[in-house]
Chains A and B, each alone.
Chain A
């Protein structure tokens, strides 16, 4: 096999590892953006945060929101908003840092934080 082909095949292995690792990061982020309160579960995302901010701006104190099961859940808007807002940025900032590290890893062992000899 030519050297160029060997290198190309090595590169596909690197890309496959990188893509799978990116998916792992996405999975972890999704999992951390799931939030359960008062017997219901929510996915923290931009529409939910924006909607809650609007409710706060309108002076709402307690509202009923539909959770991921479409069940009605009563929440204290201010507490709920504070929690989802801070959690969203904690999670996405971590995601960004880990994603950037991954993006700059040019070898399989670097993607996995392994010593080259392992």
Chain B
């Protein structure tokens, strides 16, 4: 681990049989270096994902992208039981393992005094996240999001349940090492360990464990059961969905997207997304353009 651990970015990357999360982490690490000027990047992965990455990307590129790799063993039981439907546009869907068991350990794992915990598919295409450093708020995450197909609305993503608490997105979380934040992550762990109980109480849909749910519940609990109690990031969370696709990466920090029309599933309009960070939920799509993205940033 390198010196100067004051600030850094933390990502989790565990492949499943289809999605190369580790490759996404490498792409995003290069983007983080280029756009945020941050060299301290920690990626938590497992032996298989790392081995696959070394074979397909090469050790040199990985070393250039990530300066701290933490290898952990997967919890097999969790891996086999936490399944979700991944879509590659409306035309293709597959049920695959969704391994997100250790994100609740982010506080313990992070070697940094200030951490930006981000999803590997949250593409850092600007320097706006630099606004978080040294902030008065020791913990920040978004509950508001903006779909980049601006006319598309989905009210089911606003709350855990129609009459339930507001849903925070664990996609990007800024935190400092403080007693308050430590307690917050203890609550996240507690919710994860007792997921069936909290699923009943907070009535989140389905059986899938999502960090968005446990982070939202912990946020509700830590402030004395108050909704929207944790401040949002000073940046907006922009999202595209798994029904969308990427046409191409046409330059540094520029992506052309196919966005599914809400009134015509399977039909798209194009949009150019440039110089703003973007959560791309179609993982296959990022993998398809990852070579172009790497070429622009390396």
A residues near B, CB below 8 A? 13, 16-17, 19-21, 23-24, 27-28, 30-32, 34-36, 39-41, 68-69, 71, 73, 108, 111-114, 118
Query: Nearest Cβ distance between residue B270 and chain A, in whole angstroms?
Result: 6
Known: A16-B151, A28-B274, A68-B234. 8 other contacts (CB 8 A): A17-B271, A19-B151, A20-B148, A20-B149, A20-B271, A24-B148, A41-B135, A71-B137
In the complex, the answer to whether A71 meets B236 with C-beta atoms within 8 Å is: no
Contacting residues, chain B, for A118 (C-beta < 8 A): 248
From A23, A24, A36, contact of B234 by CB (8 A): A36
Contacting residues, chain A, for B146 (C-beta < 8 A): 27
Show 13 residue pairs from A and B whose CB-CB distance is below 8 angstroms, ordered by the A residue. Answer: A13-B269, A17-B269, A17-B271, A19-B150, A27-B236, A34-B235, A35-B131, A36-B132, A36-B135, A73-B136, A111-B272, A112-B271, A114-B270
Whole-angstrom CA separation of A71 from B2 in the bound complex = 35
Q: Does B273 contact A (CB under 8 A)?
A: yes
From A17, A31, A35, A69, contact of B126 by CB (8 A): A31
Contacting residues, chain A, for B259 (C-beta < 8 A): 20
Whole-angstrom CA separation of A21 from B259 in the bound complex = 12
The 9 A-B pairs at the shortest CB distance, nearest first, are namely A41-B234, A39-B136, A36-B131, A23-B150, A112-B272, A16-B269, A17-B269, A20-B271, A28-B276
Contacting residues, chain A, for B275 (C-beta < 8 A): 28
Contacting residues, chain B, for A39 (C-beta < 8 A): 134-136
In the complex, the answer to whether A34 meets B131 with C-beta atoms within 8 Å is: yes
Query: Nearest Cβ distance between residue A28 and chain B, in whole angstroms?
Result: 5
From B135, B236, B269, contact of A30 by CB (8 A): B236
Contacting residues, chain B, for A21 (C-beta < 8 A): 271-272
Whole-angstrom CA separation of A24 from B149 in the bound complex = 9
From B136, B236, B270, B272, contact of A40 by CB (8 A): B136
Whole-angstrom CA separation of A40 from B135 in the bound complex = 6
Query: Nearest Cβ distance between residue B219 and chain A, in whole angstroms?
Result: 15
Within 8 A of A (CB), among B119-166: 126, 128, 131-132, 134-137, 146, 148-151
Query: Nearest Cβ distance between residue A11 and chain B, in whole angstroms?
Result: 13
Contacting residues, chain B, for A16 (C-beta < 8 A): 151, 261, 269
Whole-angstrom CA separation of A19 from B149 in the bound complex = 10
Query: Nearest Cβ distance between residue A20 and chain B, in whole angstroms?
Result: 5
Query: Nearest Cβ distance between residue A29 and chain B, in whole angstroms?
Result: 10
From A20, A28, A40, A73, contact of B269 by CB (8 A): A20
Within 8 A of A (CB), among B250-289: 250, 256, 259, 261, 269-276
Whole-angstrom CA separation of A108 from B248 in the bound complex = 15
In the complex, the answer to whether A69 meets B131 with C-beta atoms within 8 Å is: no
Whole-angstrom CA separation of A35 from B132 in the bound complex = 10
Whole-angstrom CA separation of A24 from B136 in the bound complex = 29
Contacting residues, chain B, for A31 (C-beta < 8 A): 126, 128, 235-236, 276
In the complex, the answer to whether A69 meets B137 with C-beta atoms within 8 Å is: yes
Whole-angstrom CA separation of A36 from B259 in the bound complex = 32
Whole-angstrom CA separation of A34 from B126 in the bound complex = 13
Q: Of all chain B residues, which has the CB nearest A68?
A: B234
Whole-angstrom CA separation of A9 from B74 in the bound complex = 51
Whole-angstrom CA separation of A21 from B273 in the bound complex = 8
From B128, B149, B231, contact of A69 by CB (8 A): B231
Contacting residues, chain A, for B151 (C-beta < 8 A): 16, 19-20
From A13, A73, A113, contact of B272 by CB (8 A): A113
Query: Which of B126, B146, B270 is the most central at the interface, judged by chain A CB atoms within 10 Å of its CB?
Result: B270
Contacting residues, chain A, for B149 (C-beta < 8 A): 20
Given contacts A69-B137, A112-B272, contact A41 B131 (CB under 8 A): yes
